[in-house]
Structure 1
Amino acid sequence: MLKISVLLILSVGVLLAGDKVLKLSHQWPGGGKDVRDKMVRIVADEVEKANVGLTIKIYPSKSLYKPKEQWSALVKGRLDMTALPLDYAGGRHPEFSATLMPGLIKNHDHAKRINNSQFMKDIKKVINDAGAKVLADSWLAGGFVSTKNCILEPDDVKGQVIRAAGSNFEEMLHGAGASISSMASSEIYTALQTGVLDAANTSSGSFVSYRIYEQVKCLTAPGENALWFMYEPILISMKTWKKLNSKQQEALMKAGQKAETYFEKEAKNLDDKLVSTFKKAGVKVVYMSKEQADKWKKIAAETSYKSFATKVPNGAKLIEEARSVE
């Protein structure tokens, strides 16, 4: 009888400790329509398979928090997890804007090398100190679109109102003669449709997910000389992390690694899908040459790089660390 009672108590204890629900918020379309949504669903599925008493409930399409509200909610412990463009938190931690810096990363192979660099170690220290932890790395390539003309040379943006993802791109594009309008990527479609924007840049995934091909004439696609790369990790609140037991933490880390491996394979496919989707919609597709990309980088060095190095603690060091990765 005593043995049965002990087993019953243990069973009840397991039941009480189990089924802890973690809320995960992101801004992209759900249902596996966006690769970042697929990425977080891999984490949720793998954690469920691990049978460690964790369930991850996903809130896509800004249904729980607006895009730029997620970081604050995460570090305060109101939100457990997110898939977030880290630059969105650049207002609170200006170092994060280095993860959306024109020309620092040129292609997917380069991005993979950056993940293991001192640059990313320094960025992750800021993330940890602020109250969050990275479960999976992901870098998305991106490009430019316009309702007027193809954007290849800096002169091509003169006189256009453009949505530039992040302050560093804004400074570079302003230096090239563009006017700037800031907004989340989820708002680009309507802004192009209503004439608020003439042009925009964002990730390959967002260009397709938000059907931007319906509103533009030309796409400058990422290739070997992309200017646009953005870091969009899966993050967990440190407050949440510390409440989990070691098996739950281990399950999350393994799930995050599986999601990261999946994304590494899918990142280039996103660019291929971008090009094929836009071509099918009748949009002209062009690529930047190394010489054209270098012209942009020269403007970036005089604007965004210089400003970042001056205003951000360790800004010059971060830029140099990233540029030293071949």
Structure 2
Amino acid sequence: MKKLISTATTSLALLFAFNAQADTIELRAATLSPPGDVWGLAGERFAEAVKERTNGEVVINMSYSGALGTAAETIEGLAFGTTNIVIQEVTQLDGYDPLAGLGTYPYLIRDYEHFNQIMHETEVGQEFHDELESRTGFKLIGSGFRGPREMAANEEINTPEDLKGMKVRVPSYQIARDTWSMLGANPVPMSSSEVYTSLQQGIIDAAENPLEAHIRSKYYEAVPYIIMTDHVNAYYTFLFDANYFDGLPEDVQQILIEEGDKAMEWGSEQIVSKIDGYIEMLTEQGAEFIYPDKEAFQEKLKPLIDEYPQDMQNWIERFQSAGQ
């Protein structure tokens, strides 16, 4: 479903961004991350660099902890100017086009090295972003590695067979539901705000997220095990309404692209440098780490590609072969 934006809506977005001082462009940036989190800090670095390079003529005002709404609400707000920038995973666009769901396709991005090959050393990442812009009407700038998604579970899991019948919380993305169904679990779409209580009360048996989210949401208080499946390496990006972005002065566009790329690269480096510390911190909190048979998970998921149309299969193969 391609996003349709009227001329009037685009004009409204521009009016929000250009304040009464004709020489100043003010942009509202939204993130679900709290102040001090890596991705909130990445947004701050972006804002500071853009302000400096434009001599204060472009000001990015950060909003944290979902103060401007949920991920879906802030993305929708890009068309109306209630937000101008959203820091979010690319997969959040899957409601606009299914191709965006590849951001959570299992074992698509193998590790940080492979992520850099896709996003920085080949043209695959930029061409993927360009294709998403064409299909959805959103401009994607930069790519920030979140680290692998791991499971928090109420029992040990060593092979896919151990998942049979388990209720696993998943994001609302179709590919996430398909993944856990193929692995034999019962996927339960649920808001992230409900996960802790649902784990604690046994409404679900497991959830999956990057380790920084395990710490932020204190999953270790609700269930004892962390299963290191490394099944998804998702990434963040800066989202803009493409029509609005194209209406900005060309020199401002170039600065936003350059500094957005740098800020997301900085965020990636921060996450990678912290993963060992996350493991140590979670161990100190009493979490027990289980290292399952990842090859068995990968083998079980091989037929998943056949569930999707040929154009998505082509992109999956391009991602998987990048750098080879």
How does the TM-score come out when normalised to structure 1?
Answer: 0.84
- Using the TM superposition, give the Cα deviation of residue 52 of structure 1 relative to its aligned residue in structure 2, in angstroms: 4.2
**Which amino acid is 2:301 matched to?**
A
- Using the TM superposition, give the Cα deviation of residue 296 of structure 1 relative to its aligned residue in structure 2, in angstroms: 1.4
The residue aligned with 1:155 is 161
Identical counterparts, % of pairs: 20
How does the TM-score come out when normalised to structure 2?
Answer: 0.84
- Using the TM superposition, give the Cα deviation of residue 78 of structure 1 relative to its aligned residue in structure 2, in angstroms: 4.2
The residue aligned with 1:199 is 206
The residue aligned with 1:40 is 43
Pick aligned residue for 2:197 from 175, 190, 193: 190
- The unaligned stretches of length 5 or more in structure 2 are 1-18
Q: 2:255 aligned with 1:248, yes or no?
A: no
Higher deviation after alignment, 89-98 or 43-52: 43-52
CA distance 1:220–1:113, change in 2 (3 Å)? same
Deviations 1:159-213 (A, max 9, x none): 2111124322322221222111112434322322332221011122322222222
The residue aligned with 1:272 is 276
CA distance 1:241–1:79, change in 2 (3 Å)? same
**Which amino acid is 2:244 matched to?**
T
Whole-Å separation in 1 of the counterparts to 2:234 and 2:284:
26
CA distance 1:78–1:138, change in 2 (3 Å)? same
CA contact (8 A) 2:153 2:223 kept: yes
CA contact (8 A) 1:141 1:230 kept: yes
The residue aligned with 1:59 is 63
**Which amino acid is 1:302 matched to?**
P
Pick aligned residue for 1:19 from 24, 31, 40: 24
CA contact (8 A) 2:139 2:239 kept: yes
CA contact (8 A) 1:221 1:275 kept: no
What secondary structure sits across from 1:61 in the alignment? coil
Deviations 1:13-61 (A, max 9, x none): x9932332211112222x21x2111111111111222224111112221
- Structure 1 outlier segments of 4+, above 4 Å: 75-78
Query: Which aligned pairs between 1:1-326 and structure 2 lie closer than 5 A?
Result: 16-29=21-34, 31-32=35-36, 34-50=37-53, 51-75=55-79, 77-116=81-120, 117-129=122-134, 130-165=136-171, 166-221=173-228, 226-288=230-292, 292-303=293-304, 305-308=305-308, 310=309, 314-325=311-322, 326=324
Larger radius of gyration: 1
Whole-Å separation in 2 of the counterparts to 1:251 and 1:107:
29
CA distance 1:98–1:27, change in 2 (3 Å)? same
CA contact (8 A) 2:170 2:187 kept: yes
Aligned-CA RMSD value: 2.3
What secondary structure sits across from 2:91 in the alignment? helix
CA contact (8 A) 2:152 2:220 kept: no
Aligned length: 301
Whole-Å separation in 1 of the counterparts to 2:268 and 2:86:
19
